A and B are shown apart, each in its own frame.
Chain A
């Protein structure tokens, strides 16, 4: 296949790419099976090869170096460690014996079947790779062991592998994988392999050290934003502040006068300044006088969007997602009916690493460096903008400084390529945080109306959920999503709640907002479970029942849901007394193939300030491949969801986003974070997703805790503290500035004092 080498080599000219459409990412979240064994026997363009390259994932060199090429990108969720564990378990090596690299863009080899594309998202990575990567490891081990047996002329059954060494048991002879690499490459790839019984797992189920973090404590890791290539310049960009607007006139005079400014590049809807470094580019951008052609959305406001959505919810014919039983009859027969409507805001992703991309457009090819959840989509954008074929767009993917769905879209690669193709040198485009917040693709706003009929026992005899909002999937499908077809994401978390609800109707009215929208951590369930679990709490209280007792009565035929419910209730001390002004809220769901119950304990001050005291989470995610990572994702996911529920919302006025940076798009801080305890329900089910499950749990647990603490039911997010205050003061602008670290220096060169936060002085110039 290839000559042995001391380290894996990039294949530079093998057979042509077999690419799907680089711009298509067809999420098929529901009902999609896991495609077995998405490995190919032969390396292709952009692949890494070595003496032993049995499939798309495993490379063993003659010197013993073992490399795993992992299909999913690491953005903090622990996927590199998890996927490496799956291979290593069956290959019989330790994680400390392997190097992991990201897969090159290649839809044929590295498509995540659950997503229908080479993408990392929707908490699908471990679910999608659970079988294929273990099979890849087992097949490779079989070939290595067979090669050793052949060399010794002994039966394969007398040989076994452990920690990268094959041993002939009767004689104790040993050969390391590196020494077997050439011979193993000549063995046939087994068509069927037997996977280990879970009781024999050596690595799966243990909290192994993460493989990606050593370089994250000393600045060694290179994220996309850290890439430096020879002769590179740095650009920053301003897109039209009004959604859909275009660039009008630009007066460049003052910007050109800034020393170090090299070029000013105009795009259809944006202008970029390129300089020797970011600071110069930013100074140059601020010095431009720009006139925008604001277009049709110049007067658009959040109220307009919500009013349109509410009207659509009431007047448009919905698309049915689920209808079971005699809904009208059950409503008529109900002892009591309950109705409520809920409003959810637009949300920005705000990953800590601002949007960035390095692009070098040469005469006959284009090279890009970035961190992306969708490498083939990034490649497709650059190809489309530059006009080069896909195989002339070289993509270098990097570890990601936060994705959360933002890097499931690669539109900024198109922008960066459009800038770079106007100059001869490589350009690193970095968005300011303001640009990142104001030109994100947002989690859409929703307006949902729920109603239920209760029987004599207080339990729901009928459950109706009318969802209204945009189609996120529609933003990914070329040509859009058909108007009359259900977007499963819109009702994910609503259509199949983990309750015994024999009479149920869930439908969706589609009303796309005027701006592009996308997935946000927790996708459909983050929106729908807030509504479902808030309403479930409302029904419990309407029936005069305890919220846990009420859910218990509705999960008699839902053993996994009941299991986490009981565990969370027990560990949280549910029902035990709390001081006045405090309360506990619960949420329960089954998103991403996992089951989770969360109990949040809070207190609310007379001023309406919420303190998050303690969170107790019970999870049944099937086999926990790395329990420590599961816990880390639950802790972090919960914080992410609480942060959004407490503070986050993108609003529009005169077509412009009103928030701009972390002072007004506030993120939860360490002094506000609750204590978090995570408990596992032991399970031998296949792994469920975990990266987003606790984000889903957070909002409803908070809203239900607020009700328990104050008796006030908040049906819209983010939480409006004005509704919680009992001291009469206006909380509209309360503590937007969190406390900052005390002894920080803030002295300018000329000796003038300057506030360490810099927010007042800096924000004015942005």
Chain B
């Protein structure tokens, strides 16, 4: 059994050590907001936060999480930066199909936690690991700046 803290809740899961956190969240715990996109940390759809740091859960073995707190998109609205990001995403109509946006929101809110006033190049560095196939990049950039001011 592996102990996890997910969205503030202590859990214990009976899964192989090398099972990526993504599949523990989705298929075992039932938190499906975190998405599968590529399985090799290329697209960022699976991004969650470990103690506030963005990680690609599709390549993160669950046993490596340890005591760090896992936050997923289902609970990111309980953080101040997450709530601002969600609101800016809606206000600027960032979202199209929405499938990548869980990961985008997790990366963006982690960026704002450590950098309350990101420049364009800060945004490029923090967000270029998240692919959006609908091409919402211009609005993602604008929404991060709006959330930073909120």
Do A and B actually bind? yes
Q: A670-B137, A741-B128, A744-B54 are in contact. Are A662 and B35 (CB under 8 A)?
A: no
Known contacts A209-B93, A745-B53; A401/B99 CB under 8 A: yes
Residue contact B136 to A739, C-beta cutoff 8 Å: no
Closest CB in chain B relative to A605 CB, distance in Å: 17
Query: Knowing A217-B89, A219-B73, A637-B135 touch, does A749 contact B63 (C-beta < 8 A)?
Result: yes
Per-residue 0/1 for B114-150: is the Cβ within 8 Å of any A Cβ (1 yes, 0 no)? 1000000001111111111111111111000000000
A210 to B94, CA, bound (A): 10
Complex-state Cα separation, A351 to B16, whole angstroms: 30
CB-contacts of A344-371 with B (<8 A):
350-354
Q: Does B41 contact A (CB under 8 A)?
A: yes
Report the minimum CB–CB distance from A764 to chain B (whole Å). 10
Tell me the complex Cα distance, A430–B33, Å. Answer: 16
In whole Å, how far is A760's beta carbon from the nearest beta carbon of chain B?
9
Known: A628-B93, A638-B135. A219 touches B17 (CB 8 A): no
A669 close to B (CB within 8 Å): yes
- CB-nearest residue of chain B relative to A643? B135
Closest residue of chain A to B123 (Cβ to Cβ) is A670
Contacts of A763 in B (CB 8 A): 40
B64 to A748, Cβ gap below 8 A? Answer: yes
Stretch at the interface among A64-72, A119-127, A221-229: A221-229
Chain B residues positioned under 8 Å from A222 (CB to CB): 32
Residues of chain A within 8 A of B133, CB atoms compared: 350-352, 402, 404, 640, 667
Tell me the complex Cα distance, A221–B40, Å.
24
Size of A's binding interface in residues, CB under 8 A = 83
Instruction: Kindly state whether residue A191 has any CB partner on chain B within 8 Å.
Output: no
Given A216-B101, A748-B64, A762-B39, verify A636-B129 contact (CB < 8 Å). Answer: no
Interface centre among B42, B45, B126, B128 (most CB of A within 10 A): B42
Q: Mark B80-119, 1 if CB is under 8 A from A, else 0.
A: 0000001001100101111111100101000000100000
Which B residues lie within 8 Å of A747 (CB)? Answer: 64
**Could you count the A-B residue pairs with CB atoms below 8 Å apart for me: how many are there?**
239
The answer to whether A744 and B53 touch across the interface, beta carbons within 8 angstroms, is yes
* Contact in complex: A353, B40 (CB < 8 Å): no
Give the residue name and chain of the A residue nearest to B120 (CB).
A671
Confirm or deny: A759 has a beta carbon within 8 angstroms of a beta carbon on chain B: yes
Beta-carbon contact of A632 and B97 below 8 Å: no
| Any B CB within 8 A of the CB of A278 | yes
B129 touches A632 (CB 8 A): no
**CA A399 – CA B35 in complex, angstroms?**
14
Q: A738 to B39, Cβ gap below 8 A?
A: no
Query: What residues of A have a CB within 8 angstroms of the CB of B8 in the complex?
Result: none
Q: Which residue of the partner chain, among B27, B30, B44, B76, contacts A279 with CB atoms under 8 Å?
A: B27
Are A744's CB and B55's CB within 8 A? Answer: yes
A328 at the interface (CB under 8 A from B): no
Measured in the bound complex, the distance between the Cα atoms of B99 and A207 in whole Å is 23
A317 within 8 A of B: no
* A58 within 8 A of partner (CB): no
| In contact, A226 and B32 (Cβ under 8 angstroms) | yes
Provide the residues of chain A in CB contact with B15, threshold 8 Å: 277, 279
For residue A526, CB closer than 8 A to chain B, the reply is no
The yes or no answer to A338 lying at the interface (CB within 8 A) is: no
Cross-chain contact B131 with A676 (CB below 8 angstroms): no
Chain A residues whose C-beta falls within 8 Å of the C-beta of B61 in the assembled complex = 748-749
Query: Can you list 24 A-B contacts with CB-CB less than 8 angstroms, sorted by A residue number?
Result: A76-B97, A210-B93, A216-B95, A219-B73, A259-B16, A276-B27, A280-B16, A399-B98, A400-B97, A401-B97, A402-B97, A402-B133, A433-B37, A635-B139, A636-B96, A636-B134, A639-B135, A639-B137, A662-B40, A662-B43, A663-B40, A663-B42, A673-B138, A739-B124
